[in-house]
Amino acid sequence: MIDGWGRRKLAPLIDGMADRALAVGLSANAMTLIAFGVGLLAAICVAAGYTLLAVPLLLLSRLGDGLDGAIAQRTKATDFGGFLDIVLDFAFYGAIPLAFVLLDPARNGIAGSILLLAFYVNGASFLAYAVMAEKRGAKSTARGEKSLFFTTGLAEAGETLFVFVLACLFPSWFPLIAILFAGVTAYTTLSRIMLAHRDL
């Protein structure tokens, strides 16, 4: 929901960084891997109890996730690059709730599992819709140029990042935050199912 606004606000920063990355020979796929690595480091910090240290790593990781697309647009976007980006995005989004479960299984286990289930089903709805839309030749530029058809929703990357940062700042609130965001994610999935019923 806030991704479009965030994209417009960060565009000058990301564009400038993309130009500098290209100047030193950094490819889009390399940036995707770097961003994922930083995201995994954030998850490790959470699991180890260093949740405040995870916050800047989360922000850097998602900045890198936006940067890889900008680099690809300046060179040559590839299907493999798009594939790698979406797979590692989903891996990152699963790693952070898992890290909170590992941090305190007794307190966070149920809520973290519910959030992971919500992410799993939402991801399936996103990818299944993309496949069907591609089959029909549909195009979407709602979030800029993407490697696959991109449906928007209430729970997108910006909202997820906000929730992850909030949980890191207030780790004792994780069960409540996770359950509430699982509900928001489930609403996004239901909205996509209704969209698919209308358009497919």
Question: What pLDDT is attached to residue 72?
Answer: 83
Distance CA 69, CA 138 (A): 20
Q: Are 69 and 85 in contact (CB under 8 A)?
A: yes
Torsions phi, psi of 154, nearest 5? -70, -35
Contact present, 163 and 177 (Cβ < 8 Å): yes
What confidence score (pLDDT) does residue 143 get? 53
Lowest mean pLDDT among 55-69, 76-90, 92-106, 150-164: 150-164
User: What's the mean pLDDT in 39-68?
Assistant: 95
| Residue 142 binned pLDDT confidence (cut-offs 50, 70, 90) | low
**What is the pLDDT averaged over residues 76-102?**
93
Model confidence pLDDT, tens digit, residues 99-140: 999 999 999 999 999 999 999 999 999 889 888 888 877 676
> In whole angstroms, how far apart are CA 29 and each of 26, 71, 86, 158?
8, 9, 12, 22
Number of domains within the chain? 1
Query: Mapping DSSP to helix (H, G, I), strand (E, B) and coil, where does residue 81 land?
Result: helix
Q: Helix H segments across the chain?
A: 3-23, 28-47, 51-74, 79-103, 105-135, 157-169, 174-199
CA 113 to chain centroid, in Å, comes to 18
User: Can you tell me the distance from the alpha carbon of 174 to that of 163, in angstroms, rounded to the nearest whole number?
Assistant: 9
Residue with tokens 């409540």: 176
The yes-or-no verdict on residue 40 having pLDDT over 70 is: yes
What CATH number corresponds to the domain at position 186?
Answer: 1.20.120.1760
| pLDDT at residue 76 tops 90 | no
Structural domain that includes position 121: 3-199
Residue 63 has pLDDT above 60, yes or no: yes
